[in-house]
Structure 1
Amino acid sequence: MIRCCIFDLDGTLLNTLDALTYTTNLTLKEFGYGPVDPEHIKQFVGDGYRMQVKRALQYSGDRELLHYEEALSAYMRLFAEHCLYHVRPYEGIPELLEALKAQGIRIAVLSNKPHARTVENIEAVFGKGYFDIVAGQKDDVPKKPDPAGVNRILEQFGCSSEECLYFGDTNTDMQTGLNAKAHTVGVTWGFRDRAELEAFHPDFVIDAPKMVTEHILASFS
């Protein structure tokens, strides 16, 4: 029986690509570099903002990362201003979350996005207190794909990994769910393609949120 669902944020619950692209390009502009297109940003994100900035700088020509530390500071300053830029939930996500809550299933967010920005995104779109737990990147918890974040949420919920569905859209997420021994669900509406998800052999790969209530939950009843 499934008692809780843990969701990645970017590319899973919310389409944040415009905000990530806009902030990254504002950062690069401060150091004289041109913009990066959204398709490359999709490949740069998922492993925390430090890796995102590193990849963007190297792609733009700063192969020695001469501006890395300055760019990290600039990105965090700019992201605090623009992290909600054009942010919206993916089609079917609000309905899925309502269905889960109606069934008494606990819901949580686990993101490699900095914690304050994770909370800001979730509360702006869904409202304060909508999710049972919202957890972004913090210094005292290893980033995904380390399972520590999932394990901490499971402990707070009083659930086992066998009672959990973990949702994500990248290879990092697939590794996270598998490392935590949760039932891992890859979603194809996010930042990466089906082939990347299937390479890690998650329990499920889905093309629409409604497949959770129509197919996945039924398989555990």
Structure 2
Amino acid sequence: MYQCCIFDLDGTLIDSISAISYTTNLTLEKYGLGPIDEELYKKFVGDGYKKLMERALIHCGDTELYHYEDSLVTYMDNFKIHCMHEVKAYEGVNDMLSYLKDNDIKIAVLSNKPHERTLDNVNGVFGEKYFNRVAGQMDSVKRKPDPEGAVITAKELNVLPEDCLYIGDTNTDMMTGISAGMDTIGVTWGFRTREELESYNPKYVIDHPSEIKNIIKRVTV
């Protein structure tokens, strides 16, 4: 019986690609680089902002990463201002979260986005009514796909890993959930393809948030 759902944030609960692409392109502009098309950013995200900037700079021709260190500071300054740019919940997410809350399923967010910006996004879109724990990337915890954050989340919520569902939209998420010993769900409405998700053999691959309710119902009955 599942007692907890741990969600990735970007591409899983919220459509935030416009904020990410806007911020990164604004950062690249400082160095006379870019812009990069928004669709391409769906392949660049998932591993934290440092990897995002590395991929963006290399794509724009800075293969020696001459601007890398400065770009990290610039990105964070820009993202503090623009992290809510056109951000919205995916259709069906609020209904799904309400169902989990009403049925006493613990709900958590685990993101590779910097912790403060994760809080900005979660509180800005959902408020404080759903989540038992929200964690973005912090220096004290290894970033996904290392399972440490997922395991810590389960422990803090007093739930065994095998009683958790881990839900995400990228290869990083599939590796995280599976390595943490959690039944893992790949979602196809986010930033990556069904083929990518299925290649990691998660427990489930779904096309709409309502399917999470169905999974919970089947296992609970």
TM-score, reference length from structure 1: 0.98
- Taking the aligned partners of 1:53 and 1:136, their CA distance within structure 2 comes to 18
**Correspondence 1:96 to 2:129:** no
- Please give the residue correspondences for 1:65-214 in structure 2 after superposition, counting only pairs within 5 Å: 65-128=65-128, 130-214=130-214
- Taking the aligned partners of 2:135 and 2:129, their CA distance within structure 1 comes to 13
Aligned residue pairs total: 220
1:192 partner SS: coil
- Taking the aligned partners of 2:148 and 2:34, their CA distance within structure 1 comes to 37
- Taking the aligned partners of 1:163 and 1:34, their CA distance within structure 2 comes to 45
Q: Which runs of 5+ in 2 are unaligned?
A: none
Between 1:120-129 and 1:104-113, the stretch displaced more is: 120-129
- Cross-structure match for 2:45: 45
1:136 partner SS: strand
- Cross-structure match for 2:218: 219
Deviations 1:113-157 (A, max 9, x none): 000000000001111353110000000000001111011111111
For residue 83 of structure 1, report the CA deviation from its aligned partner: 0.2
**Correspondence 1:60 to 2:60:** yes
- Taking the aligned partners of 1:28 and 1:11, their CA distance within structure 2 comes to 23
Once superposed, what is the RMSD of the aligned Cα atoms? 0.7
- Taking the aligned partners of 1:19 and 1:97, their CA distance within structure 2 comes to 23
- Taking the aligned partners of 2:34 and 2:65, their CA distance within structure 1 comes to 16
2:111 partner SS: strand
2:151 partner SS: helix
For residue 220 of structure 1, report the CA deviation from its aligned partner: 1.3
- Cross-structure match for 2:6: 6
Q: Counterpart amino acid of 1:217?
A: I
TM-score, reference length from structure 2: 0.98
Percent identity between the two aligned chains: 52
1:165 partner SS: strand
Contact kept? 2:98, 2:130, Cα under 8 Å: no
- Taking the aligned partners of 2:216 and 2:68, their CA distance within structure 1 comes to 45
For residue 37 of structure 1, report the CA deviation from its aligned partner: 0.6
Q: Counterpart amino acid of 1:148?
A: E
- Taking the aligned partners of 2:193 and 2:125, their CA distance within structure 1 comes to 25
Deviations 1:35-72 (A, max 9, x none): 00111100111001000000000001100000000111
- Taking the aligned partners of 1:14 and 1:124, their CA distance within structure 2 comes to 11
Q: Which runs of 5+ in 1 are unaligned?
A: none
Q: Which runs of 4+ in 1 moved over 2 A?
A: none
